[in-house]
Amino acid sequence: MNEIRHVKIVLKDGHRAVEIPEEFDFPGDEITMRKEGDRIILEPKREDRDLFEWLRSLEPLDEEFPDVDEGLLPVEDVDL
């Protein structure tokens, strides 16, 4: 969806506000807003998930993991 819609900025309760047209509306009562250069980006608020939950949601990798020792110089023991 690459629709473009021009909307007016209105003053509401001492703040500048933009009314979101119905076709651009988000579910829920909260959104995430961020600024990138001269753009303001609005996105649906995502529920916070912990790292383990996020990792479990990832699809398994189909590629082989590289041999990390390949091409490295031997390491000598060091007395600390």
pLDDT tens digit string along 7-45? 999 998 999 999 889 989 888 888 889 899 999 989 888
Q: Is-contact 41 34, C-beta < 8 A?
A: yes
Count Cβ atoms below 10 Å from residue 34 Cβ, excluding itself: 9
Phi, psi torsion values for 79, nearest 5 degrees: -85, 125
Residue 68 banded pLDDT, cuts 50, 70, 90: confident
CA atoms of 15 and 40, how far apart (whole Å): 16
Q: Taking every pair of C-alpha atoms in the chain, what is the biggest distance, in angstroms?
A: 70
Domain segments of the chain as ranges: 27-58
Which pLDDT does position 55 carry in this prediction?
83
- Retrieve residue 54's tokens: 């996020």
Residue 1 banded pLDDT, cuts 50, 70, 90: low
Which pLDDT does position 38 carry in this prediction?
95
Which pLDDT does position 57 carry in this prediction?
83
